[in-house]
Amino acid sequence: MSRHPYSTMKRLVGKAIHQYRMISDGEKIAVGLSGGKDSLSLMWILTERLSRIPISYELFAIHVDPGFEGSDLSYLEDYCTKMNYNLRVERSDFGIRAHRKENRENPCFSCSRLRRKRLFEVASELGCNKLALGHHKDDIIETLFMNMCYGGTISTMVPSQSLFNGGFTIIRPLSYIDEDVIIRFARQNDFPVFRNACPSEKHSKRHEMKQMLAELYKTNRKIKGNIFRSMSNVNTDYLI
């Protein structure tokens, strides 16, 4: 906790990008900008890197509005204008559709799938072959447990994922960063506060998993790091 959050962000984002060869010179990269601390931190650090690295790339921020009543995007549009970010806002009814009766079991999965599909479409329209998402270390661990508990598979999100026969790649430059570092980084940079209008925000399976893991981490400070390392240290001889 003593390390300055910017130093940690710079070091670990650089490590992830280098290790997985996420970004090449001259690329156009779409950034999924939800408006929360994670995506704003990602956009900030990817923009800031351009001033200190020997390659160049273009960033295009895309926000897919799920269409919930009461959502106000003026704060995000104003902030992006202030920061000179290239923002494209896509209006949709994905959140409303996902909360219909037939999706009551898992509205988050349906909404996420629809928004991701639209991100791919807009990224393609903009000439981007990569989509950067703001998932961090905690998200990756939570997804591992979500997939085991509710999907019956041992799998998670990966830092770099090739799709459509190599024609498109999802990158997650924040993969090595703890959520608490991003929280401190967002406060330090005075990011605008995102108000989530989703009715399932505090009642999702992911929220429950986050709470469960938080209690587990309290019992031993090494548990979180060990879980994360275990995903790249799989002994298949001892799996059924």
Domains in the chain and their CATH numbers? 5-238 (3.40.50.620)
Token pair, residue 216, equals 């587990």
Crossing angle for the helix pair 137-146 and 205-219, to the nearest 10 degrees: 110
Query: Is the model's pTM score more than 0.95?
Result: no
Token pair, residue 164, equals 């459509």
Which residue pairs, CB below 8 angstroms and at least 24 apart, start in 49-52?
49/10, 49/13, 49/14
- For residue range 21-77, what is the model confidence (pLDDT) as tens digits? 999 999 999 999 999 999 999 999 999 999 999 999 999 999 998 878 777 788 899
Taking the C-alpha atoms of residue 91 and residue 70, their distance in angstroms, rounded to an integer, is: 14
**DSSP bridge pairs for 171:** 132, 160
**DSSP bridge pairs for 29:** 59, 130
The pLDDT of residue 103:
65
- Residue numbers in the chain where pLDDT is lower than 70: 1-3, 103-105
The pLDDT of residue 1:
46
3-state percent helix, strand, coil for the chain, nearest multiple of 5 = 50, 10, 40
In the chain, DSSP finds a helix count (H) and a strand count (E) of 9, 6
The pLDDT of residue 2:
46
The pLDDT of residue 12:
97
The continuous run of DSSP H or E covering 30 comes out as: strand 28-32
The pLDDT of residue 39:
97
